[in-house]
Structure formats: structure tokens, C-alpha cells
Amino acid sequence: MRKLGLILLLAALAALVAAGCSEEENSKPYVSRLYASETCGVAPLRVDFRADATGGKPFNDPTGGNNWLRMSWDFGDGTVIANGTSIAYHRYEAPGIFTVTVTAEDDAGERDSRSMQVKVNADSLSIEVFGTLHGEIVTELKACEPLTLGIIAETCGFDPVSDTYDRFIYRWSVAGAAYTSANPQHAFAPATEPRVEMITLNLIDPTRSTTRNDTLWVDVLPSAGADLSLAAFWLLPDSLYTTSDTLRVTLPGVWPNIFTYRLHARNAGPEPAYHVTVRGNQPNLANLHYVGAFASSGGVTYDSASDARRWTWRIPAIAAGGEETVFVAYRIESPPPSNNAFPIRMQPYACDPDTTNLQITPRLITQTFR
């Protein structure tokens, strides 16, 4: 019986020793959470911090306030607290993004850390206007080159890289023109001498009822200009023939029939032409229907309203010495009247003052040949 009691006593002592070892192993410092009263604000910004830490002397306050843990703080702006508690206060005087680190250390030199970032802005809303040409930020460009405008905005709760800029209201003013989109494009009119143009933006953030303004100055250089022209040709089966841009069809012919003309927008240079618009009308005939169009560049839209019946071709750019082409097709259900005009006009281009070659009128003439 005495042997059994001794065995039980030894077993109990072994269990206590094992538990003590376990406590020692689990007493290493561990910072489980780091809180901040503000993670973004305007300088000067006071932030209250609190760290939850365990470890040190067992069975004491888990927040690290009195459990034999040394709590040190690094606020990321050069200010440190070498021997503090789990609660700290700091005031940021200057803008920046700061990494705050709290470290818990016990008497054995064991330590654990946790970090977070605090962003301090110079203003509740900061904006910077910029302009790009062909994807590159520029402050100098030639007349008629398409300048695309944009902004970088800084405010709490907004990521200037990944968040959408549609939350803002835009009021741009550029050389007498007004725009309300986030990224408008503008081409400055030509001039014989270099000049400086001012671009202003009035930006409104309706979520915070905040308004800011910014200005961009750009140098506009003279442009040698473009030399644009139009040419049209009917595409015909062998049984039909044409002279230049006039199609003559022998009656009675085969109906319905599809007639297609090919239109060339050309630029003899010496500079590229940007954002060129060409519009084509058709005769207002009940038996004439627009089929469609295919363009080598840009896009074609069609307005089917009875008072318009017009297609519009928008070309992003025509290189100097280059051309772009569009094919336009119509279906005719029955023989049309004898002379039908399809007037085509290019919208005047500022860097091509000669407008005499910016219009052409393909014709469809029906007649009986003997």
C-alpha cells in the first residue's frame, strides 16, 4: 500500500513538472493585435495605439500592461518609445506613409512584433492634373495633337491607382472649351508661333462635399499641318460600269440589288491627322436601305432617322502619307429614279485649312442604253 502511495505521489509530481515546463514554453511573447484610432488623416494627426500581447510572467494581464513584458514602439517617423506599455499615443506633424511597429520582449530576451501603416495627408483632398500624348505624360505638344487629360487624387478611403475616378465631378476649362468627363481629349488650334496654354480643373468630391482646383500649363508648338482628301469608287460586277465616282446602271436590271462604294480618306502630310470625322448621306428613298459598313480603322455608326439617314466614320488618326478605307453598302429593292447623289463630307480639320477637297458625291445613275 505504501508503494502504491509513493507511486501516485511521484506521478503527481511529474505531472506538475510537465505542466510547469508547458507554461514556460507557452510564455514567449506574442503580439496578437495592434489597434490604431486612425489609419489615415490630415497632418497634424494624433493617433492612439493599443497592442494586445501575451507571454512574460504567467497568469498576468494579457494586454501586456503588467505581465513583465517590455513594450517598445517605433512610429516610423524617427520617434521611438524604448520601454513603454501596451498603450501609446503619437502625433504626426508631416505628411507621409509611416510603418508603426510594436515589440513585446520578456526578461529572457524573447520578443515578438506586429506592424501596421498610418497614412498622413497634407490635405483632405489633394489633386494633380496631368496630360498625356500617346500614353506618355507631356507638357509640350504640337497643335492638333490629341492631349488626354487626367488627374491623381489623394484622399482617405480612396486608392488613387485601383479605385474608380467616377466618384468625382469634373469641370475642365481648356482654351475656351469645357469638358465634364474624367479624361477628356483636346486638340489645340494651330498658330504660327509657339504659345503657352492654361488648363484648369474644378474638381468636386460629393462624398465629402469637398472642392479643389488645379492648373496645368502646356507649351503648344506650331504644326506643319495635314493635307486631307476624299476619293470614292463603286465596286461593280462585270455587267455594270462606272466613270470615276459615278455608277451607271442599265434598266431594267436585276432587283433587289446591293451596291457598295469604297471611300478613301487620305493624308498627304506632312503631319499626321487626328480624330478625323467623315459623314455620308443617302437619298431619302423608300426603296433604298443601308446594309452596313466596314472600316480599316475606327468605327462607323448609322443614324436611321428619316431626316438624317446618315453614317458617321470616326478615324483615330491618319498617318502622314497614309490613308484609311471604309466600304459602305446599300440595298435597292426596285429601280430608283435616274440620278441619286450620296454626298460625303469630312468634318473640317483645324490643321488642314484647305477644305476644297474634303467632300465628294458618289452618284448612282439609272438609264437605258441603246
Tens of each residue's pLDDT in the chain, 370 residues: 455 454 444 455 454 444 444 444 447 899 999 999 999 999 999 999 999 998 876 555 555 444 678 899 999 999 999 989 999 999 999 999 999 999 999 888 899 999 999 999 999 999 999 999 999 999 999 999 999 999 999 999 999 889 999 999 999 999 999 999 999 999 999 988 999 999 999 999 999 899 999 999 999 999 999 999 999 998 876 566 666 788 877 777 777 788 899 999 999 999 999 999 999 999 888 889 999 999 999 999 999 886 678 999 999 999 999 999 999 999 998 888 888 899 999 999 999 988 889 999 998 888 765 4
- Report the distance separating Cα 119 and Cα 330, nearest Å: 62
- Whether the link from the prior residue into 206 is cis, omega within 30° of 0, is no
Question: For residue 85, which phi and psi values (nearest 5 degrees)?
Answer: -120, -170
Was domain 228-367 assigned CATH 3.40.50.1820? no
- Report the distance separating Cα 29 and Cα 335, nearest Å: 94
Domains 126-221 and 228-367 equal at CATH topology level: yes
Q: Where are the domains of the chain?
A: 27-121, 126-221, 228-367
Q: Which residue has the cell 503619437?
A: 90
Tell me what pLDDT residue 3 has.
Answer: 53
What kind of architecture, by CATH, is found in domain 126-221? Sandwich (2.60)
Q: Which residue has the cell 489633386?
A: 127
Q: Which CATH number fits domain 27-121: 2.60.40.10, 3.40.50.180, 2.30.30.830, 3.30.420.40?
A: 2.60.40.10
Give Cα separations from 94 to 26, 74, 142, 211, 353 (angstroms): 41, 16, 40, 23, 54
Tell me what pLDDT residue 27 has.
Answer: 73
Tell me what pLDDT residue 64 has.
Answer: 45
Q: What is the pTM of this model?
A: 0.73
Give Cα separations from 225 to 8, 170, 278, 320, 357 (angstroms): 104, 31, 18, 9, 15
H/E element holding 4? helix 2-25
Query: Which residues lie below 8 Å from residue 252, measured CB to CB, with a gap of 6+?
Result: 335
Tell me what pLDDT residue 62 has.
Answer: 53
215: its cell numbers: 492648373
Burial of 20 (0-12, 13-18, 19+ CB in 10 A): exposed
State how beta strands 310-318 and 299-303 pair: antiparallel
Tell me what pLDDT residue 184 has.
Answer: 97
**Nearest C-alpha neighbor of 258 from the set 200, 329, 194, 205:** 329
70: its cell numbers: 517590455
Give Cα separations from 96 to 10, 44, 55, 206, 213 (angstroms): 62, 11, 34, 25, 22
